[in-house]
Amino acid sequence: MTEKNITTKIQVFAYTELTEEDKKLVDMAREATRASYAPYSNYHVGAALVLDNGEYFIGTNQENAAFAGICGERSAIYAAGARFPGVPVRKLAITAAQHGEIVAEPVAPCGVCRQAILEFEKNAPHPIEILLAGRDQVYRLESIASTLPLCFKEF
């Protein structure tokens, strides 16, 4: 038997340490939480992304009584893909709010979202940078693949 260790490099920033583009994405994601429809979980997710062509998109989670909703990350990335097919996503910011307040700790995408974002990353000429924003701290990951180290790679 052998063992392997899997590690993920995460850079931790205070909001004030972010670049202007990163602040813009985090602010857009935070604002997007207000448009979320989450009457069942009361967990409002907002996402914002920028494409290589400079276009910005937001997304929010949308729930329904059949529990067949969509997460904020996928709503943003699918909207971008529908509007600009083949244009790579450069960066994606994700945050969440409860009771009208941004949650304290940075939040990560669910497994379905990780795999969906990975599909866009594998077709891009570069990794998709991920910003996970909490109230005071933002985690920066160089690639969505770092959140899903044993992902489906061959399709």
Instruction: Kindly state the tokens that stand for 144.
Output: 């969505």
C-beta of residue 45 within 8 angstroms of C-beta of residue 61:
yes
- Provide the 3-class DSSP secondary structure of residue 55: coil
Span 116-154, pLDDT tens digits: 999 999 999 999 999 999 999 999 999 999 998 877 766
Break the chain into its structural domains and give their ranges.
Answer: 11-147
* Single pTM value for the model: 0.94
Please, which residues have CB within 8 angstroms of residue 59's CB and are 6 or more apart in sequence?
32, 46, 47, 48, 49, 71, 72, 73, 74, 75, 76, 77, 78, 79
Span 50-77, pLDDT tens digits: 999 999 999 999 999 998 899 999 999 9
Instruction: Kindly state the tokens that stand for 28.
Output: 């857009």
Mean pLDDT value of segment 24-31: 98
Half-sphere exposure of 69 (CA within 13 A, CB side): 20
Residue 153: predicted pLDDT: 66
Per-residue pLDDT for 38 more than 90?
Answer: yes
Residue 67: predicted pLDDT: 85
Residue 152: predicted pLDDT: 72
* Distance, CA of 54 to CA of 2 (rounded, Å): 46
Mean pLDDT value of segment 90-94: 98
Indicate the CATH number for domain 11-147: 3.40.140.10
Instruction: Kindly state the tokens that stand for 52.
Output: 């290589």
Residue 154: predicted pLDDT: 61
φ, ψ at 69 (rounded to 5°): -85, -160
Residue type, 53: N
Cα 92 off chain centre by? 5
Q: How many residues does the chain have?
A: 155
Catalytic (active-site) positions: 73
Span 4-25, pLDDT tens digits: 888 899 999 999 999 999 999 9
Residue type, 65: A
Point out the least confidently predicted range of 76-80, 92-96, 102-106, 142-146: 142-146
